[in-house]
Amino acid sequence: MSIRLRLLMVTICWSLFSIAHLSSIQSQTSIKPAETVQRFFEMLGKGETEGIDMLFLLPSDTSNPDIKNFINDFKQSMIEAAREFKQSGGMKSIKILRQEIVGESAQVNVELTRGDGTTTTGNFDLIYSKDGWKIDLTGNLIASGQIANETAAILSVQSIAKAQILYSLKKGHGKFADLATLGKERLIDSELASGESHGYQFTSGPLLIKDEQPMFDITAKPKSIGPRGTGNRSFYSNESMVVYEAKGGAPPSATTSDRVPKNGSPIQ
């Protein structure tokens, strides 16, 4: 083989390698990480939990009892999250606020709007694998659980507020009650009546002020906050039936003379 022919063969091989490498990069980057996150919440919103684990990067050693329990807990949390989304009117929209890709890692920031109008933001880390972009479960299972817990807390606060109104009309003769009483009257479930549910702690009770109309307060705060906490928002409501939120573990509060909290924002 002549030197010219060898050079030609090397040039062709190098060109083919370059094209293949470029195609691989283009293929990888054309599959947007945000699409995986969007698909995840679309499935949750529709209650399609079967197969949702395919969107996640899960531990492969299922023979390990701890990992097996971890995966079972994950699947159960997805079922609970889907149920909470259904109760809040399903998924109205999902907005991608930011997508950042660095090599085979990516981060996606999303804003979720449910059917009842409530919104939540969340960050998701993804890893690129042979099957495409997968949500990194180690950190994002916690983030997904936090979103589910916060959604459940909002719904629980609303349920307590409705129960207070029903109690005042049917049993309380215009007055309100504590959680235990609402539970005994079967106006809320036993778990919520205990004051703890879905990683949150709840309080509610009547406010009796002389010469004033009966009032009640409701608070909900996460048992722990932070990246690995049970939630990162706290909530408050009262006889106005408006739910207010605040970041962190301290719920908004209102006085008996001013029922609008100054340290919280209404959930639209």
Specify the 3-state DSSP secondary structure of 97: strand
Residue 20 confidence class, pLDDT cut points 50, 70, 90: very low
Give the pLDDT confidence score for residue 145 in this predicted structure: 76
Q: What is the DSSP letter of 121?
A: E
Render pLDDT for 248-268 as a digit per residue (tens, 0 to 9): 999 999 999 999 999 999 986
Residue 25 has pLDDT above 50, yes or no: no
pLDDT tens, position by position, 104-147: 889 999 998 888 888 888 888 898 988 889 988 766 556 777 88
Q: How much helix, strand and coil, in percent to the nearest 5, is found in the chain? A: 40, 25, 30
**Is the Cβ–Cβ distance between 137 and 149 less than 8 Å?**
no
| pLDDT, tens digit (0-9, with 9 covering 90-100), for 242-253 | 999 999 999 999
Quote the pLDDT of residue 246. 96
What does the alpha-carbon distance between residue 255 and residue 161 come to, in Å, rounded to a whole number?
17
In the chain, DSSP finds a helix count (H) and a strand count (E) of 6, 11
- Paired with 196 in beta bridges are 201
Given a cut of 90, is residue 5 above it in pLDDT? Answer: no
**In the predicted model, what is the mean pLDDT of residues 43-62?**
79
Measured CA to CA in angstroms, residue 78 lies from 3, 82, 235 at distances of 63, 6, 23
Q: Phi, psi (5° rounding) for residue 99?
A: -135, 120
Residue 194 has pLDDT above 90, yes or no: yes
For the segment 41-50, the average pLDDT, to the nearest whole number, is: 84
Distances (CA, A) of 166 to 26, 177, 197, 214: 59, 11, 21, 14
Whether 22 shows a pLDDT value over 70: the answer reads no
CB-based contact 158:243 (threshold 8 Å):
yes
Mean pLDDT is lowest, of 10-19, 60-69, 83-92, 231-240, for 10-19
Report residue 130 as tokens.
């042979």
d(CA 99, CA 38): 12
pTM of the predicted model as reported, rounded to 2 decimal places: 0.55
What values do phi and psi take at 172, rounded to 5? -85, -5
Question: What pLDDT sits at residue 31?
Answer: 60
pLDDT exceeding 70 applies to what percent of the chain? 83
What secondary structure does DSSP assign to 134-153, as a single string? EEEHHHHHHHHHHHHHHHHH
Average pLDDT over residues 207-229: 90
